Structure formats: C-alpha cells, structure tokens
Structure 1
C-alpha cells in the first residue's frame, strides 16, 4: 500500500491501515456510544445505535480487507471532488482496502464515516471527532497556558510603549508571533467548524491529564489569546 503504487506496501502506509484506522473507528464508536447514552428522544437513540452498527461494520470491512463499496451519498452535484472520487473508485474496480493507494483509502474511510451522519435525521450536526480533538487540545494545556501568558505579556509591553489612541489601536492589532500562530492554528484545527465553536478557554481549564486547575492569571491569559483568535479569524 502506497500513495502512488498499491503494490508497494510501505511500512508507514500498512501501519496506518492495520493499526491507526481501526483505532480511529474504535474511538468514533466509543464516543458515539457515550453520546447515544446521553441523548434524549427514542428516535435519536435508535438512529444513533444504527450508526454505531454501521461504523462497526465498516471496521470489519477494513480489518478483513473487503472490497470497497460505492459511496452512498448525494453530494456530488454540489461537490465535484466527491463525484471525482466516485468515478475513481469505479475506475479502480472497487479494490480491497489494502490494495488501494494509501491516501485514496484514507479519504474513502473518512467519507464513508461522514456519510453515515450526513444522511441521518438526528445526527447530521454531530462532530464524530470532537471528543478526540478536544482531549488532545486539553492534554496540551501547559503549552497553551505558557504561550497565552507570553502573548499577553508581550501585548501589555507594546501597549505601554504607545501614547496615542491610534497607536494603541495598532498595537491591539499586532500580528501574533510564530509560536502564537501555531497555537492559534491548533485552536482552529480542533474546532468543530474552524470557528472555535467547542474549543473554549473553559475547555482548556478542564481538570485532567494530570494538570491542576488554572490560576486566575493563567485563565485570563487563555481568554486573552482566544480573544485574539476571535479578532483574527
């Protein structure tokens, strides 16, 4: 399995197929199972369990190297890339998972997962990777707090050096440094829609991963950084 030649089964590609993809699906199944347990409404719960079953079937297909099946969605009129993917899948003769190019197979995996929710009635807005992405962001709490404090301190020093309101406004529009850019990119990456909808300062302050609760100064700095994110997005 390789991004260019299916016959060249590179180590990294095969590790993704055999190890990483099943882990991704297992995490999605577990997170959705918890969400179904917290859901209200019989229809929503029933449909959620159906999606869990479909994700389990997808995992079985992958692990047993079954042939890929046609994508079951109606989005190709609005998304030319999806229509192209369907055409490529057909041209390749619906290969088995481990015989397909790695990148194509990974995109196909995510599309299959996305379609299950997109075609549902009660789970269309569910972000299947939200819990995993948020957990990863929270696990990086020390780095988030350190960069937030650094960014706030630098801003305060610059504001102290200006005299006029115009200069002050310009200071507030200071472009973040390289480290801050990386952190702001991380905020966007873990956000549900790229707008920071579930990634919040309060989420950074969640107790866990061995991190103590944030002090008032630390939480204030994190809120300051998120304010910068809101101005820049």
Structure 2
C-alpha cells in the first residue's frame, strides 16, 4: 500500500494527539487535531474523493468511523465509535463556551454539565456557572428536605392508621370473644332443654304406664265385685 509522506505525517500527528489517554484532556487534544487536519469529519457525509485523498483513504479505510475504531496495528486509533462521538460532541460544546476549558473538564464532566442545564440557558461565564450550580444545589437540597418531610408525615399517618387498625382489631376480638361465650351459653341451654325434654318424655311414659296399670286394676276390681254379686244372687 503506497502511502504519501503527507498522509504519514498526518497519521503520526493524530497518533501523538491521541497519546495514552492517561491525560484527562487527551480526548480534547485528539478531537481538535482530527477536526483541524480532517475538517470534513463530523461536517456531514464526506465525499468519496475527500476520503480517498485523505489519510483515511491512504491507510485503506472507507470512512473515519472505520479508521478510528480499528486497532493501532491496522493503522487505526483503537477508539470505539461511540466514544469518539461523545468526545466530538463535548468538544463542540467547549467551543461554544470556551471559558469551560480553564476548568480542565473530562468528557464525562462536560456531559454532566450538559445534562444539568438541559432545557435552560447555559451560563456564559464561570461566575454565572458557579452561581447557577449553587442555586441548583440549594433547590435540590430543598426538594430533598421536602421529600424527607413528606415521607415523615406519611410515616406518621401510616402509624396512626396502624394504631387505629389495631384498636379496631382489639374491639373485634373482644366482640368475637363475647359472641363465642354467647354461643357456648346457647349450646348449654339447648343441651339442657334436650335433656329436660328427654326426662319429661320418660316421666310421661311412666305416668302412662301407671295409668294403664291403675285402669287395669280398677277394671279387675269391678269384675271381681260383679262376680261376687252374681254368685250371691244365685
């Protein structure tokens, strides 16, 4: 593969800019070097001629994403496409707010700032940024305090509901005990009534038997008396 001297120099400069990534700002240096040496990267879809005439095509790649993700041994930069996209977005953000560079931010720090001020105007100076962050922190602390207060209130309400529920359970248990006692008394009364009915039935049978015996005796006595009268008459 015939690689021009210019392409080799550009590749060497990009590799140097990438460094070991041990430096917190190495990502920014690499991103800006890429955009300086390859201005068509990240500017939309580059033409085939731009790719072929650049270090990308010279090293046998079909596009920047393929090159940046390939290993160093293959002439790439061993950086995942997703990581490169995050670096590029963070770099663009720092270009819009150059005062942030003095804060020596990492890419993740920049992403956090973007998220923190999403939907609102971003501060235009370090002083405004510090004031806005202090206000955000105070608001978050206030919201957290309100959440804790509401949670404590809710816990107190639940405790009162629990006390009321326990009291209701005690009343129901007491009523259940009284009902059980009434049921036992009712069973006892029913049992006694059954026993009394059985006793009355036995007594009635005895009385009936006595009446029958008495009637037989009376009938026998009458018959004997009649026989005696008949015998006397004869």
Q: Is TM more than 0.5 here?
A: no
Please report the TM-score for the alignment, with normalisation by the length of structure 1.
0.24
| Structure number, greater radius of gyration | 2
Which structure is higher in helix share?
Answer: 2
Please report the TM-score for the alignment, with normalisation by the length of structure 2.
0.24
